Structure 1
Amino acid sequence: MAKKETKVLEQIRAESYETLPSSWTTYKRLLTYVKPYWWAFMLAFIGFGIYAGSSAGLAHVMKMLIDSIETGLADKRLFFPLVVIGIFALRGVGTFLGTFFMGHIARQLVHHLRMHLFSRFLVLPARYYDQSSSGHLVSRLTYNVNQVTGAATDALKTLLREGLFVIGLMGYLLWVNWALSLVFVAVAPIIGLVVRYASKRFRKLSQRIQMSSGEITHAASEAIGGYRVVRSFGGEEFEYQRFNKASDYHRRQTMKMAVTKSINTPVVQLLIALAMGFLVWLALSPELVGAMTPGEFIAFLTAASMMAKPMRQLTEINSTIQKGLAAAQDIFTYIDAPAEPDHGTHMIERAAGDIEFDQVSFRYGQDQPLALKGISFNIKAGEMVALVGRSGSGKSTIASLIPRFYEIEEGDIRLDGISTKELTLKSLRQQIALVTQQVTLFNGTLAENIAYGMPGISREKIESAAKAAYVTEFAEKLPEGLDTLVGDNGILLSGGQRQRIAIARAILKDAPILILDEATSALDTESERYIQSALEEVTRNRTTLVVAHRLSTIEAADRILVVSEGKIVEEGSHQQLLEKGGMYATLHKMQFNDDATSLA
């Protein structure tokens, strides 16, 4: 099974590789992030120009030194040491300018690209989160963005520094003896072919490495986040093997990258050595030696030998560029992904709370069956309506469509007679407070979690909401009260305490519509008593939609809708549905018997 999955993944990666934009297109787009810092780039260019010019000047100093020795000019004994010191001082200044300002560009690039990607994550449709693991998304924000830096700045730094150095040396060689210099020109196309082949290989391997980095992050985050389940069910060996598989795949792809790089560099160096050998052979011919002074001959060989190091470094940056381009293409895929549709133009200050579903059909994907089939019902302002049914019947799907987490396929949903498609997402979601079974808390204080998304709210209002939701009851026993840190996702709190914070958050928002999605399904009796008391407060004078599994919690609802296989099959009050003797009565009887058995 694992081998089959691996082959499928590799096939998907290969297909995606074929459809990617060209490297040059991606690189040009990447450089647009550098464009605002053109001034820093120009200073870096000047710095590396100083470095290249002073480095190339060493060859000419050799010519002057040899010619001076031959003519016996002892008066220049102090001149040459000062020139050498001056050249290295210039190289130092140039290196500092170039490295510092390219580093500045690199940090700015990482920051802005990461923020651009993160801002996109915040508006992607819910389907992206349904289909992607958090580990893969986090890997793109960390690993992939850092890889992009290599292509946009690190490689560019080497390209500028060594490229200008090669240009300076080549110019000097042409000036000394243009005929001999053509040897390097002749070998350039062969080096180009080697680099081209290596580029394709680097790019393909880079994509695999990025994918495997996401797998590593995903496996680790799941094992660490679910450590209690792992240890309780003896899953240590399974998680170890899963992580080992992801890490080993990453290792193998990295080794393939290293092998390609280790072969590419010696081949290029060999080509340069062949050119150098041929150059020396030609230079030692009597005709050429006789036409050059000893100083020119030594300077020419010195400049030619100095070409090897920068040319080798220029070929080595190819792997860095390809890794960065592969990462950039992956990042741009998400940046270019369409945000959740928000074409509405209508805004409302505060809704009355009338909700109407009109023949609504919905499916989670084109290849998925219909989750809802022609659903129609209405909730009057201030009314409490409960949705009940077996697992997978479509209850939570209905709740998710009201704030437009998903787009419906057919029909319409109206708020106060206005289609939710005509409302801006911000305006629509301002009217809704949501409390779910899986409460999300952030690693801040109790007060900060209650006031999440409501900056500038007064402390008095936070405390009032906390009191109404019975958060104060347990917060007063904590060291810092409402200013106590809750830990990662509220790990330091019980399930009931987390739920009370979520309800306090809903009370503080004071939205006209409240959606309770299985808010009390996993609580003990004492916690449920507090939650029910808090819910009585939060539901007062609000339109409330309750998705419930435990039927005892919704007996007081104005109406109960029974959902089965994506359709509403029964509707009425608790007593009416019991008297009807349908699905609701069956579900109620089953739960009543289960509760009686557990108490016996």
Structure 2
Amino acid sequence: MTPNDEQTNERAAILSTSAWRDMLSYLRPQRGLLLLGGLLALLGSMAGVVQPLAAQMVVDGLGSGETVTRALVVLTGMVVLAAVLNTIGYYILQRIAESVVLDSRRRLLGRLMRLRLTETARYQPGDLMSRVTTDTSLLRTVVSQALVETVTGAVVVVVILVMMAFLDPVMLGVTFGVLVVAALCIGLIVPHIQTATDRVQREVGDLNSSLERVLGTFRTVKAAGAEREELRASEGSAERAWRHGVRVGALEAVNGTTVGVAIQAAFLVVLGVGGARVATGEIEIGVLIAFLLYLFYLVSPMGSLVSAAANFNVGAAALKRIREVLALEPERCEAEPGSALATPEGADPEPLGVSFDGVVFRYAPDAPTVHHGVGFEVPEGGLTAFVGPSGAGKSTVFSLLERFYEPEEGTIRVGGREISEWPLSDLRSVIGYVEQDAPVLAGTLRENLTLGARGASEESIRDIVARTRLDALVERLPDGLDTVVGHRGNTLSGGERQRVAIARALLRRPRILLLDEATSQLDAANELAVREIVEELRREITVLVVAHRLSTVTMADRIVVMEAGRVRATGSHAELVAGDSLYRDLAATQFLVSDRDVEGGDGEGGGTGTHPLVAVGAAADGDRPAP
């Protein structure tokens, strides 16, 4: 069986798990406390069940003129005992419920952090957040009420019915007939509660997604004057959640009313039938009073059973949404990802070679093919630049190297070893990756720099800060490295965010460095600083860069020209200007090679005309030719 088959079977098993079995898996570690809490709650309920008998003793004693002190003491003791047992049992159950919520959140967070990138496209981030927060919170009610109250409520109901049968079977038959009718009505309502609750949770997830979308691009929304439009979209989800929530409330209200009406109807019928039996001398007045008290005692456990059924359906809807996330395919990490540096401090990093051989890839089964048999060889060390029009598949090379995605065909090797044979954590520890948009996380500047390199020394941090020209920024910030940089680094400029991303990658002391348009937002002075760093690094490790700027391309040891998901040519800048028309056109329009250099080519493809994809590539990548 292949790993994919195993993952498919695992996903099917998770999705097919029943709500009861799923809940029991969360409760298994708490089974000792659960038994104790359930037992105390049951004993508290049973102490309450004895109270009508004590009341009968009081009534009978008063009727016969006997002393009732003993009966009153027993009745008072039962009330106090029931209160104490119920309080302790309730606390234990609440503690268990919180533990279940914690366990479910840990499972979800563990799965989310290890999801494959292809799986994250299935859901909006806000919806996933809703499943971790709102849906898991619903499990608290299921444990503390639905699960235990189902057991204790059922036991108490059975005991009360036995007591009622002992007092008078005729009145029990009347009561039982009324309760069966009520149970049938409730059974028709409960499934609709689960459906409506599931819709509420989905709408809440959509609302979270809408808010995450707006807050994540707040400046863009405001600049576009789209607040009202986005507000309408968010309010739509809120209103739909409200409608489904009102439906849930209505159904639960009908459920609760059905129980109340059934008990009241049973009371009236029992009062009539029982009164007649007292009048004829078939039963004593104390028996009727005790029976009526038991009837009222049925209100609580019956209400608990109805509430438990409704709450469990709410929990079942939440569990279904949680299972959907747990069924998503995770990355297979052979070892737990850590924060160890790729190269220990004080040691020289050893460069690794990279090769692609016949790689075919697309982002989804129904998506167009991005790589059509891509193949190239990058030796150990040096600087290799990837150039080509937008959509040529340059950045995808980096995504495949990081194993964010797996190729359909072909072989990728790092250090002469197929990347599928590398433990995922080891592979990523030797690669430093600077993304095109240079994301910065919320938190302090220090936390951003040491992400994935928590063991870096203060000296190393200061050295990297200086090399990436961030020292002036650190001096300007009020708390230096410990200054909070805001959500997605919104207190930093674009160039500062890009330098932070570069510094973060270098601090891990990688053996391969991937730079995806790493200098696109830097001014001339800072670009020069980064270029000097790259110049130093190329002598120590392997550097791969997706580039559009002439300064980066001309300093490369080798250039890989890509077009439409294929490697078109490789060579030095001078060789490609002379021998490849696409590169010559790219150079003429994006790199501003002089007309003399372009005319020095072999004339392939029609001289100096602009390649039809160049303008699209320049617009998409935001590059501006340097003056």
Q: Structure 1 length as normaliser, TM-score?
A: 0.89
Return the alpha-carbon distance in structure 1 between the equivalents of residues 280 and 411 of structure 2: 90
Return the alpha-carbon distance in structure 1 between the equivalents of residues 358 and 548 of structure 2: 25
1:7 aligned residue: none
2:374 aligned residue: 375
User: Which sits farther off after the overlay, 505-514 or 182-191?
Assistant: 182-191
Return the alpha-carbon distance in structure 2 between the equivalents of residues 485 and 286 of structure 1: 80
8 Å CA contact 2:55–2:71 kept in 1: the answer is: no
Give the alignment partner of residue 326 of structure 1, picking from 303, 311, 317. Answer: 317
Q: Indicate how the Cα distance of structure 1 residues 230 and 124 shifts in structure 2: closer, same or farther if over 3 A, else same.
A: same
| Per-residue Cα deviation, 1:207-249 (whole angstroms, up to 9, x for no partner) | 2111111111111122122221111111111111111111111
Matched, 1:590 2:589: yes
2:339 aligned residue: none
C-alpha deviation, 1:101, in angstroms: 0.2
User: Any unmatched runs of 5+ in structure 1?
Assistant: 1-18
1:569 aligned residue: 568
Matched, 1:249 2:248: no
Output aligned runs, 1:213-292, within 5 Å. Answer: 213-286=204-277, 290-292=281-283
2:531 aligned residue: 532
1:12 aligned residue: none
8 Å CA contact 1:363–1:370 kept in 2: the answer is: yes
| Per-residue Cα deviation, 1:162-204 (whole angstroms, up to 9, x for no partner) | 4444334223212222343234444555444333332321222
8 Å CA contact 1:51–1:161 kept in 2: the answer is: no
2:157 aligned residue: 166
Amino acid at match of 2:324: T
Q: Indicate how the Cα distance of structure 1 residues 20 and 352 shifts in structure 2: closer, same or farther if over 3 A, else same.
A: closer
Matched, 1:69 2:62: yes
Amino acid at match of 1:451: T
Matched, 1:26 2:25: no
Q: Indicate how the Cα distance of structure 1 residues 89 and 597 shifts in structure 2: closer, same or farther if over 3 A, else same.
A: closer
8 Å CA contact 2:154–2:305 kept in 1: the answer is: yes
Return the alpha-carbon distance in structure 2 between the equivalents of residues 596 and 379 of structure 1: 26
Return the alpha-carbon distance in structure 2 between the equivalents of residues 225 and 301 of structure 1: 61
Q: Indicate how the Cα distance of structure 1 residues 596 and 374 shifts in structure 2: closer, same or farther if over 3 A, else same.
A: closer
Return the alpha-carbon distance in structure 2 between the equivalents of residues 284 and 136 of structure 1: 59
Return the alpha-carbon distance in structure 1 between the equivalents of residues 78 and 104 of structure 2: 38
Output aligned runs, 1:546-565, within 5 Å. Answer: 546-565=545-564
User: Which sits farther off after the overlay, 264-273 or 40-49?
Assistant: 264-273
Return the alpha-carbon distance in structure 1 between the equivalents of residues 183 and 529 of structure 2: 73
Q: Secondary structure at the match of 1:560?
A: strand
2:89 aligned residue: 98
Q: Indicate how the Cα distance of structure 1 residues 150 and 21 shifts in structure 2: closer, same or farther if over 3 A, else same.
A: farther
Matched, 1:47 2:46: no
C-alpha deviation, 1:419, in angstroms: 1.1
Amino acid at match of 1:508: L
Q: Indicate how the Cα distance of structure 1 residues 289 and 482 shifts in structure 2: closer, same or farther if over 3 A, else same.
A: farther
Return the alpha-carbon distance in structure 2 between the equivalents of residues 308 and 186 of structure 1: 16
RMSD: 2.7
User: Which sits farther off after the overlay, 267-276 or 134-143?
Assistant: 267-276
Q: Indicate how the Cα distance of structure 1 residues 288 and 307 shifts in structure 2: closer, same or farther if over 3 A, else same.
A: farther
C-alpha deviation, 1:522, in angstroms: 2.9
2:428 aligned residue: 429
2:470 aligned residue: 471
C-alpha deviation, 1:343, in angstroms: 7.2
User: Any unmatched runs of 5+ in structure 2?
Assistant: 1-13, 337-341, 344-348, 593-617
| Per-residue Cα deviation, 1:337-393 (whole angstroms, up to 9, x for no partner) | 332245799xx9986411110100001111111111000101000031111122222
Return the alpha-carbon distance in structure 2 between the equivalents of residues 553 and 358 of structure 1: 26
| Per-residue Cα deviation, 1:427-458 (whole angstroms, up to 9, x for no partner) | 21121111112223333332222121223332
8 Å CA contact 1:52–1:168 kept in 2: the answer is: no
Q: Indicate how the Cα distance of structure 1 residues 28 and 301 shifts in structure 2: closer, same or farther if over 3 A, else same.
A: same
8 Å CA contact 1:414–1:420 kept in 2: the answer is: yes
Output aligned runs, 1:401-420, within 5 Å. Answer: 401-420=400-419
C-alpha deviation, 1:395, in angstroms: 1.0
Return the alpha-carbon distance in structure 1 between the equivalents of residues 335 and 30 of structure 2: 37
2:198 aligned residue: 207
Q: Indicate how the Cα distance of structure 1 residues 368 and 198 shifts in structure 2: closer, same or farther if over 3 A, else same.
A: same
Q: Indicate how the Cα distance of structure 1 residues 87 and 131 shifts in structure 2: closer, same or farther if over 3 A, else same.
A: same
Return the alpha-carbon distance in structure 1 between the equivalents of residues 19 and 241 of structure 2: 24
Q: Secondary structure at the match of 1:137?
A: helix
Q: Secondary structure at the match of 2:21?
A: helix
Matched, 1:311 2:290: no
C-alpha deviation, 1:91, in angstroms: 2.1
Amino acid at match of 1:297: L
Return the alpha-carbon distance in structure 1 between the equivalents of residues 223 and 536 of structure 2: 38
Q: State the number of aligned residues.
A: 576
2:493 aligned residue: 494
Return the alpha-carbon distance in structure 2 between the equivalents of residues 204 and 121 of structure 1: 26
Return the alpha-carbon distance in structure 2 between the equivalents of residues 313 and 233 of structure 1: 53
1:37 aligned residue: 30
C-alpha deviation, 1:421, in angstroms: 1.0
User: Which sits farther off after the overlay, 220-229 or 186-195?
Assistant: 186-195
Amino acid at match of 1:68: G
8 Å CA contact 1:363–1:372 kept in 2: the answer is: yes
| Per-residue Cα deviation, 1:496-524 (whole angstroms, up to 9, x for no partner) | 22222222222221111111112122333
| Per-residue Cα deviation, 1:15-55 (whole angstroms, up to 9, x for no partner) | xxxx9647xx2222212211222222122123212321222
Q: Secondary structure at the match of 1:340?
A: coil
1:353 aligned residue: 352
Return the alpha-carbon distance in structure 1 between the equivalents of residues 562 and 626 of structure 2: 29
Q: Structure 2 length as normaliser, TM-score?
A: 0.86
8 Å CA contact 1:98–1:157 kept in 2: the answer is: no
Matched, 1:482 2:485: no
C-alpha deviation, 1:305, in angstroms: 2.3
Q: Secondary structure at the match of 2:522?
A: coil
Give the alignment partner of residue 108 of structure 2, picking from 109, 117, 129. Answer: 117
8 Å CA contact 1:499–1:531 kept in 2: the answer is: no
User: Which sits farther off after the overlay, 365-374 or 556-565?
Assistant: 556-565
Return the alpha-carbon distance in structure 1 between the equivalents of residues 523 and 466 of structure 2: 21
8 Å CA contact 2:96–2:143 kept in 1: the answer is: no
| Per-residue Cα deviation, 1:516-558 (whole angstroms, up to 9, x for no partner) | 1121223333443343334334444111111124344322111
Q: Indicate how the Cα distance of structure 1 residues 197 and 551 shifts in structure 2: closer, same or farther if over 3 A, else same.
A: farther
Q: Secondary structure at the match of 1:375?
A: strand
